[in-house]
Amino acid sequence: MSSSIAVRVNGAMVSVPEGATVAVAISMAGQPCRTSVTGEPRGPLCGMGICFECRAIVNGIHHSRSCQIQCVPDMEVRTDE
């Protein structure tokens, strides 16, 4: 059985399985990944790094494709800036 990892999404702690991607953490936090240019909430579409809908701020780096990044302990994820 794999262990879990705690990361922060918009300040709230989320526990995800080891190896889970940041996109999964954002989804488990009940958040959209980003707000579109006309203000719509958006979440992952392709799940494989092509569509860029899952962009979020990961450890301060903007436009990170959250479906391609695995969670590590104490990661700081923001979708609300």
> Which residues of the chain form contacts with another protein (CB under 8 A)?
2, 16-21, 23-24, 27-28, 32, 36-38, 40-53, 55, 63, 67-70
Which of 11, 28 has the CB closer to another protein? 28
The least distance separating another protein from the CB of residue 7, rounded to whole angstroms, comes to: 12
Helix, strand, coil percentages (3-state) for the chain, rounded to 5, are: 10, 35, 50
H-helix or E-strand containing 6?
strand 4-9
The least distance separating another protein from the CB of residue 11, rounded to whole angstroms, comes to: 19
Instruction: Decide: 2 and 50 in contact? Cβ < 8 Å.
Output: no
The least distance separating another protein from the CB of residue 51, rounded to whole angstroms, comes to: 5
Instruction: Decide: 32 and 79 in contact? Cβ < 8 Å.
Output: yes
